[in-house]
Amino acid sequence: MSEQTVAVALGSNLGNRADNLARARQQLAESVGSLLAASRIYETDPVGPPGQGRFLNQVVLLHTPLEPEAILERALRIEARLGRVRRQRNGPRTIDLDLLLHGSRMCATEQLSLPHPRMHERPFVLVPLCELLPAWRHPLRGETVRDMLAASGGAGVRVWASNAGTSTPAGVAHGN
């Protein structure tokens, strides 16, 4: 398969959240593909069980020759290395990595669905994704990221006050 642009959502609400995102970005770049761009970091309200701290969320774009299943496998290994323990669905976590899209590829297996099946419902994904790929069109819904964000309302998502960890590679700017 030829190289594709993929989008991965990063989230953390345990430990040093910003450091967790930075370490995940570095490990994704080392094991998945070259980092093309990173959104700003956003602080978001948790989705899931009550009593959780706020999340830091971000989306990165990578250029990779890997198949989606290989990216998922590597993302799960990165999560484990960074201390992710799956105790409860949507519970607190040191890091959460979700493969959102792999070019315009569609797939639905027991382990992986592309595009991510709930991305259109999640402002904490759509806001940073819109920063990078506002015109990307969801192949099943027919809507752009900008359209999905407008429909979601973007509630509970704020630019994080300290965006020091969002530097992108030389020559690569944040999305518009």
Query: Per-residue pLDDT tens for 103-154?
Result: 989 999 888 999 998 999 899 999 999 999 999 999 999 999 999 999 998 8
Show the domain range for 34.
4-159
36 part of a folded domain = yes
173 part of a folded domain = no
Question: Taking 80 as the threshold, does the pLDDT of residue 18 lie above it?
Answer: yes
Mean pLDDT of 52-64: 95
Residue 96 annotated as catalytic: yes
Structurally, the chain folds into a number of domains equal to: 1
Reported confidence tier of residue 51, pLDDT bands at 50, 70, 90: confident
Question: Taking 50 as the threshold, does the pLDDT of residue 174 lie above it?
Answer: no
Residue 98 annotated as catalytic: yes
Catalytic residue among 74, 84, 122, 147: 84
HEC readout, the chain: CCCEEEEEEEEECCCCHHHHHHHHHHHHHHHCCEEEEECCCEEECCCCCCCCCCEEEEEEEEEECCCHHHHHHHHHHHHHHCCCCCCCCCCCCCCEEEEEEECCCCEECCCCEECCCCHHHCHHHHHHHHHHCCCCECCCCCCEHHHHHHHHCCCCEEECCCCCCCCCCCCCCCCC
Catalytic residue among 98, 105, 137, 146: 98
Q: Return the CATH number at 19.
A: 3.30.70.560
Residue 84 annotated as catalytic: yes
Residue 81 annotated as catalytic: no
